[in-house]
Amino acid sequence: MLALISSTIANSIRRPGIPLMLALVLAVPAWAAAVAFVDEYKSGIPWPEPKVIDPGPIGGPPSDATVLFDGTSLDAWNGAENWLVADGACGPHGKGGLTTKDSFGDVQLHIEFATPAEVKGAGQGRGNSGVYFLGKYEVQVLDSYDNQTYFDGQCGSVYKQKPPLVNACRKPGEWQTYDILFTAPRFDDQGQLLKPAAVTVLHNGVVLHNHFELLGDTAYDRPPAYTPHPPTGPIHLQDHGDRVRFRNIWVRPIVEPELPQK
């Protein structure tokens, strides 16, 4: 630890115009990082061996994933009677969305979607759907290929809160991927927010959000707000009236291992 701090101070002093006091200030982050490192291990409790899983085929479900749609069955969903299944994909036809029967908290979600190949409408009226976590927090699905709309409503946005870093959309009709890491919000026993929800979103392998902390739910007609709710909830796919198709949907929990007790 002393070697790390001494090195930081020495490197700072060598820079023209940096006085000793400033060098000491610059050394504080290095000292804090070293202390945190020591604190992590001073208990003598070893980290558990990571669980071994089969990662599965590229894009396919790992061995510890829950498959929500494999191209044939919508048994994992409520509202399946309102969706069509054909050619290994499923999609709405104006009768309502899909909601998982099971509830989930912190998860990794993989889902593939294709907006209609025949382009109709513009803005929010073109290939519109959405992926909701806990039924409240939406990552937007939209045909944003050469299609202007408000930035926090385009494909990959955290709806009405945060535009994507880039527009990574493929052409209408082409299959696209979302890989989303979602962290559920935490509330105390009195319903006060302890920790906001957060998402990391990759669209076609490109990062759109890097652990963005949500301001609340993603309502379309009011500012975002948090209201207390259970730590888990369903995943919902929106029926916005457009024939968006989905396939290869799986989810796996994100669970930190518990350290063994002495």
Maximum C-alpha span of the chain: 72
Percentage helix, strand, coil for the chain under 3-state DSSP, each rounded to 5? 15, 30, 55
Looking up tokens 């299944």 gives: 85
SS3 20: helix
Q: What is the pLDDT of residue 38?
A: 54
**Token representation of residue 39:** 């604190």
Tens-digit pLDDT profile for residues 152-169: 999 999 999 999 999 999
Q: Which of 201, 220, 225, 224 is nearest to 211 (CA)?
A: 201
- One of 3.90.1580.10, 3.40.640.10, 3.40.50.10190, 2.60.120.560 is the CATH number of 66-253, namely 2.60.120.560
What's the pTM value of the predicted model, to 2 decimals?
A: 0.81
Relative to beta strand 89-92, strand 129-133 is unpaired
Tens-digit pLDDT profile for residues 223-232: 999 999 999 9
User: 176-212 in b/e burial notation, b at 16+ Cβ within 10 A?
Assistant: bbbbbbbbbbebeeeeeeeeebbbbbbbbeeebbeeb
Q: What is the pLDDT of residue 50?
A: 86
**Res. 197: pLDDT tops 90:** yes
For range 210-226, the mean pLDDT: 96
Tens-digit pLDDT profile for residues 18-59: 455 544 444 555 555 555 555 555 566 777 888 898 999 888
Segment of 9-13, 21-25, 63-67 carrying the highest mean pLDDT: 63-67
Q: Which of 73, 137, 151, 139 is nearest to 105 (CA)?
A: 137
- Residue-by-residue DSSP string for 130-187: EEEETTTEEEEE---TT----GGGSTT-BTTTB--SS--PPPTTS-EEEEEEEE--EE
Helix axes 2-14, 20-41, angle to 10 degrees: 160
Domains of the chain by residue range: 2-41, 66-253
For range 231-243, the mean pLDDT: 95
Q: What is the pLDDT of residue 31?
A: 56
Cα dihedral: 239, 72, 252, 145 (round 10): -50
Weakest-pLDDT range from 96-100, 120-124, 145-149: 120-124
**Res. 65: pLDDT tops 90:** yes
Q: What is the pLDDT of residue 125?
A: 85
**Res. 119: pLDDT tops 80:** yes
Looking up tokens 């085929």 gives: 57
**Res. 246: pLDDT tops 60:** yes
Q: What is the pLDDT of residue 203?
A: 98
For range 171-195, the mean pLDDT: 97
pLDDT greater at residue 136 or residue 125: 136
- Cβ-Cβ contacts under 8 Å for 136 (sequence gap 6 or more): 217, 218, 229, 233
Contact by Cβ (8 Å): 193, 215:
no
Q: What is the pLDDT of residue 93?
A: 86
For range 192-212, the mean pLDDT: 98
